[in-house]
């Protein structure tokens, strides 16, 4: 019945001041931890927890011009890599008493730009963006940080060591005894920073004299094209490759499904290494052998950077180290 007594207004600073018998400004200084005389301070503090006062974010934001909100623009939260990123970024912001305005683009370019306007409307103190739009309109008046995408030296980019990841993967495959390998990647890994995964991979293959092939699935039907590629490189049920490096764990997962359906054993017939470091349900084990992105560090670094006040002289590309992790799709 009367489950909602919406009329009961929350106490304001004026209420606290009246209750404590002090001036409005004094309450404000106590709340913000500024210099206040002892007796006044304790009077105010008493009134505060007597009334259960908490400052009104809207009022403060309006006055200070700072909303204490950071926008995070990201495709979705379905991919566990994104989910983990959202989690850690929110945790980092929380520590610093910031909130997160979460915007899901679903890879839609119009949405990306629309959300930047929305962020501006909410007077956010900064934007962290993980987008796949090469022509993003970056606002000049809000601190802007990207993850995995480099736009210009004036927009800091936080990324994993993509080159190193590819390099480690190829070395690992060689070390595990592979004689001929391939690198498969979809569009998101073909451009910008993640493209370096290929460079590192190629570099290590050349260095170790490991024969390799590159397959770009930059297509409207990447799944079908991947299937075609695997089938066309199979002879009498034997795959031409005994090692595969795949651009993302998501794709690696699909590759493995297809291989299994082709009666090709993983890791016995072919060893597979993915990229991202996805764990099921946050368990210890990876779902595939993989190059692990340092998600917590990426989150921390993004937050530190976007909140940095010396925004002008920051490195424009922060590159964080990756590691290899066993996940059952390689030997050992």
Partner DNA sequence: CCAAGTTCATGAATCGTATCATGAATAAGT
Partner DNA sequence: ACTTATTCATGATACGATTCATGAACTTGG
CB of 77 vs a second copy, minimal distance in Å: 5
* Binding range to a second copy, per CB under 8 A, among 25-33, 73-81, 227-235, 263-271: 73-81
Q: Report the relative pairing of strands 99-104 and 238-239 from DSSP bridges.
A: unpaired
- Using DSSP's 3-state secondary structure scheme, residue 272 falls into strand
Respond yes or no on whether the N-terminal peptide bond of residue 30 is cis (omega within 30° of 0). Answer: no
Q: Which two tokens stand for residue 250?
A: 């998501």
Tokens of 164: 């190193």
Residue 319 exposed, middle or buried by CB count within 10 Å (0-12, 13-18, 19+) = middle
Task: Dihedral sign for Cα 228, 234, 235, 240, please.
Answer: positive
Site membership for DNA, residue 119 (CB under 7 A):
no
Q: Toward a second copy, which CB reaches closer, 131 or 170?
A: 131
Of residues 73-92, those binding DNA (CB under 7 A): none
23: contact with DNA by CB under 7 A: yes
Cα gap 276→299, rounded to integer Å: 14
Residue 140 sits in the site that holds a second copy (CB under 8 A): yes
Q: State yes or no: residue 233 binds a second copy (CB under 8 A).
A: no
Tell me how far, at minimum, the Cβ of 25 lies from DNA, in Å.
3
**Beta pairing, strands 144-147 & 157-160:** parallel
Give the long-range contacts of residues 218-226, CB within 8 A, separation 24 or more.
Answer: 218/186, 218/187, 218/190, 219/187, 222/186, 222/187, 222/251, 223/254, 226/184, 226/251, 226/254, 226/255, 226/258
Which residue(s) pair with 126 in the sheet?
70
Token pair for residue 149?
């995408």
Q: Does 287 bind a second copy (CB under 8 A)?
A: yes
Shortest reach from residue 65's CB to DNA, in Å: 7
Residue number, 57 or 265, with CB nearest to a second copy: 57
* Contact status: 58 vs a second copy (CB under 8 A): yes
Q: Is 48 in the site for DNA (CB under 7 A)?
A: no
Instruction: Report the residue count for the chain.
Output: 332
Using the minimum distance from each CB to DNA, give the nearer residue, 7 or 235.
7
CB closer to DNA, 42 vs 316 = 42
The contact mask relative to DNA for 25-44 (x = CB under 7 A, - = no) is: xxxxx-xx--xxx--x----
Listed in sequence order, the residues at least 6 apart from 40 whose beta carbon sits closer than 8 Å to its beta carbon are 22, 26, 30
If you search the block for the tokens 């103190």, which residue do you land on? 125
The backbone region for 295, taken as left when phi is positive above 0, alpha when psi lies in -120 to 50, beta otherwise, is: alpha
Tell me how far, at minimum, the Cβ of 6 lies from a second copy, in Å.
6
Per-residue interface string for the shown chain with a second copy, residues 91-110, x marking contact by CB under 8 A: x--x----xxxx-x------
**β-strand partners of 71:** 101, 127
Stretch that binds a second copy, among 38-46, 182-190, 204-212, 275-283 (CB under 8 A): 275-283
Q: Which H or E run contains 57?
A: helix 57-64
Angle, CA of 80, 81 and 85, to the nearest 5° = 110
Binding partner of residue 107 among DNA, a second copy, none, CB under 5 to 8 Å per kind? none
Interface with DNA, residue 8, by CB under 7 A: no
What residue 311 binds from a second copy, DNA, none (CB within 5 to 8 A, per partner kind)? a second copy
Q: Which residue, 25 or 59, is less far from a second copy as judged by CB?
A: 59
Residues that bind a second copy (CB under 8 A): 1-6, 8, 10, 54-59, 61-62, 67, 76-80, 83-84, 86-87, 90-91, 94, 99-102, 104, 117, 120-123, 140-141, 143, 154-155, 250, 253-254, 280-283, 287, 311-312
Residues that bind DNA (CB under 7 A): 9-10, 12-14, 22-29, 31-32, 35-37, 40, 53, 55-56, 58-60, 62-65
């Amino acid at each position: 019945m009367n489950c909602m007594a919406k009329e009961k207004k929350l106490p304001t600073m004026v209420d606290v001041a009246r209750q404590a018998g002090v001036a409005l400004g004094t309450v404000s200084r106590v709340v913000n931890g500024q210099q206040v005389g002892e007796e006044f301070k304790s009077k105010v503090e008493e009134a505060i927890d007597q009334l259960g006062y908490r400052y009104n974010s809207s009022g403060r934001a309006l006055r200070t011009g700072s909303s204490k909100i950071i926008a995070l623009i990201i495709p979705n939260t379905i991919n566990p890599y994104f989910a983990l990123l959202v989690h850690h970024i929110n945790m980092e912001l929380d520590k610093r008493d910031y909130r997160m305005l979460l915007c899901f683009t679903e890879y839609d370019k119009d949405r990306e730009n629309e959300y930047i306007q929305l962020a501006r409307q909410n007077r956010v103190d900064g934007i962290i963006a993980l987008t796949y739009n090469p022509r993003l309109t970056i606002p000049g008046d809000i601190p802007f940080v990207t993850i995995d995408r480099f736009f210009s030296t004036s927009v800091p980019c936080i990324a994993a060591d993509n080159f190193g990841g590819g390099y480690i993967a190829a070395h690992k495959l060689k070390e595990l005894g592979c004689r001929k390998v391939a690198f498969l990647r979809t569009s998101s890994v073909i451009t910008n920073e993640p493209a370096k995964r290929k460079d590192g991979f190629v570099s290590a293959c050349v260095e170790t004299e490991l024969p390799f092939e590159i397959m770009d699935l930059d297509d409207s039907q990447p799944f079908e094209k991947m299937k075609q590629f695997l089938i066309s490189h199979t002879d009498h049920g034997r795959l031409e490759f005994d090692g595969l490096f795949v651009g993302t764990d998501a794709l690696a997962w699909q590759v493995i499904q297809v291989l299994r359906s082709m009666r090709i054993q993983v890791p016995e017939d072919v060893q597979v290494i993915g990229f991202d470091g996805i764990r099921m349900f946050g368990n210890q084990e990876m779902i595939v052998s993989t190059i692990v992105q340092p998600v917590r560090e990426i989150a921390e670094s993004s937050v530190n950077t976007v909140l940095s006040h010396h925004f002008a002289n920051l490195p424009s590309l922060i590159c964080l180290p990756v590691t290899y992790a066993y996940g059952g799709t390689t030997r050992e």
